[in-house]
Amino acid sequence: MKQLRISGKDYAELVNHLYPGDDNEAIAFALCGNFRTSSFDGLLVHEVHCLPHELCKIRENGHINWPPEFLEPIMLKAEEKGLSILKIHSHPNGYSQFSETDDECDLKIFRSVFGWVQESKFHASAVMLPDGQIFGRFIDEELNFIAIDKVIVAGDTIKIWRYNSDCELKDQDRRNLQAFGERTVQLLKSMKVGVIGCSGTGSIVVEQLVRLGVGTIVMVDPEAVEGVNLNRIPNTFEEDAVSRRKKVDVLKERLTKVGFGTKFITSYDNICESRAILKELATCDTFFGCLDAQEPRYVLNQLSTYYIVPYFDVGVELKADGNNGISKVYGAIHFIQPKGSSLHSREAISMDKVSDESMKRQNPEMYERQVKEKYIKGAGNVDSPAVISVNMQLSAMTVNEFLNKIDPFKSVDNDLNAIVRVSISDNFFLFEGDGDSDEYLLKSVGKGDRKPFIGIMGL
């Protein structure tokens, strides 16, 4: 699998530069982080460099001539930082292939690039069409052209262009086809989606993704089914709790029988400790965090930023009134696109609590001592109320937000739906925009495989 990923912020800059309104070709370059596994090669746009139009010797509808010295400082930085280079230009005439001129130009440019940039195994060339679609190819050390299978833009709307064969449709897909059309159903079947936390909320997210026909689902949860889970995890039985079967194993067994052909990858790993499962999640087109603890949510936010993966975070809370009743029922859905927005900048998590949870996980003796000496406030061991009706409502809203991001159907623009706040007890829904960027994370968008991994020591 060969992928190119771009944040919504960088994509908007490229659109404005490559299509300034004069119907002439334009060109830009980007420094890209690398992402490699045994079966996956990805280039992640980290930093865009637009070649000023006035520096071009020729800018016409089907031809552009630009000064090669513009590329020299970009190549120097790529070599210094261990980054790859993307060349991207426009085809205002709508020609949806690389031309012979493109081939000749790419061979000349990337022969020089590989001479300057020694460490990178791949660079890339891409074309943006007038409607914003991008197609492209990797160029390896032997100057072979290798088609990019998928281009993803992680913006307010998630744009995905696939360049491989369509999937087989089944009778089970009929109603989904009536609702969303073949393009979206085919897209869902091609997608790889992660779900981290497979209890009351996550299990229902997985249930919906399977029945929507998502092609591959990565489920991560270290815990086993317990009796207290049976009131809110579909497809779990008393026998699962008695035998202490892992939640992800139960869900995989039961949901495989639904018949949509979904492939499952399961893990019992703690994402705060396992680079292997984080790398697997980084290969996903998007992922859902269905977690209460703040440290793993922080880790997912970092992963989303470094590897340009859009991230849906959902949380539910029921507050007991102390008299065997409930005083508050509310939740929040955060859509994190990797352009610097974060759960921290939105005050959805506290770095103090992230640090406390990390200490409790890694050094429980020190944690207990700090609590005893009142340096930190302990989390406590009181179980919170949880019921399936609330979990289902928030899970359904989260999946609908996902669907609206890949195939918009709401009457308002997606940039106004970055945060959804719900109070079932007070009977309101509140939709908010992205808010302030996290300036620290903004510098890490698209860094990819770097040390320390996703900026966290110990991973």
Q: What is the DSSP letter of 10?
A: H
Q: Alpha-carbon distance 454 to 307, whole Å?
A: 9
- For 352, the enclosing helix (H) or strand (E) is helix 351-362
**Tell me, what's the pLDDT at 378?**
65
Q: Alpha-carbon distance 63 to 328, whole Å?
A: 63
Q: Alpha-carbon distance 197 to 222, whole Å?
A: 8
C-alpha count within 13 angstroms, C-beta hemisphere, residue 13? 18
Tokens of 345: 């900048």
Q: Alpha-carbon distance 37 to 279, whole Å?
A: 8
Q: Alpha-carbon distance 353 to 358, whole Å?
A: 8
**Tell me, what's the pLDDT at 383?**
64
CB contact at 8 A, 41 and 3: yes
- For 88, the enclosing helix (H) or strand (E) is strand 84-90
Q: What is the DSSP letter of 448?
A: B
| β-strands 134-140, 122-128 pairing | antiparallel
The number of residues in the chain equals 459
Dihedral over alpha carbons 369, 372, 378, 383 (to 10 degrees): 110
Residue 332 three-state SS: strand
Per-residue pLDDT in tens (0 to 9) along the chain, 459 residues: 999 999 999 999 999 999 999 999 999 999 999 999 999 999 999 999 999 999 999 999 989 999 999 999 999 999 999 999 999 999 999 999 999 999 999 999 999 999 999 888 999 999 999 999 999 999 999 999 999 999 999 999 999 999 987 888 888 889 999 999 999 999 999 999 999 999 999 999 999 999 999 999 999 999 999 999 999 999 999 999 999 999 999 999 999 999 999 999 999 999 999 999 999 999 999 999 999 999 999 999 999 999 999 999 999 988 877 777 777 889 999 999 988 779 999 999 999 999 999 999 999 998 888 888 777 666 544 567 788 999 999 999 999 999 999 999 999 999 998 999 999 989 999 999 988 888 889 999 999 999 999 999 988
Q: Alpha-carbon distance 409 to 78, whole Å?
A: 40
The dihedrals phi and psi of 447, each to the nearest 5 degrees, come to -70, -30
CB contact at 8 A, 150 and 160: yes
CB contact at 8 A, 204 and 230: no
CB contact at 8 A, 305 and 443: no
Place of tokens 């513009």: 70
Name the CA radius of gyration of the chain, rounded: 24
**Which DSSP string do the residues of 169-238 spell out, in sequence order?**
P-GGGHHHHHHHHHHHHHHHHH-EEEEE--STTHHHHHHHHHHTT-SEEEEE--PBP-GGGTTT-TT--H
The answer to whether the Cα torsion of 239, 243, 244, 250 is positive or negative is negative
Give tens-digit pLDDT for 3-38: 999 999 999 999 999 999 999 999 999 999 999 999
Closest residue by Cα to residue 62 from 39, 90, 84, 43: 90
- Burial class from Cβ neighbours inside 10 Å (0-12, 13-18, 19+) for residue 437 reads middle
CB contact at 8 A, 34 and 44: yes
CB contact at 8 A, 92 and 19: yes
The answer to whether the Cα torsion of 390, 401, 273, 380 is positive or negative is negative
- For 335, the enclosing helix (H) or strand (E) is strand 326-336
C-alpha count within 13 angstroms, C-beta hemisphere, residue 175? 4
- pTM of the predicted structure, to 2 decimals: 0.95
Closest residue by Cα to residue 338 from 9, 60, 2, 39: 9
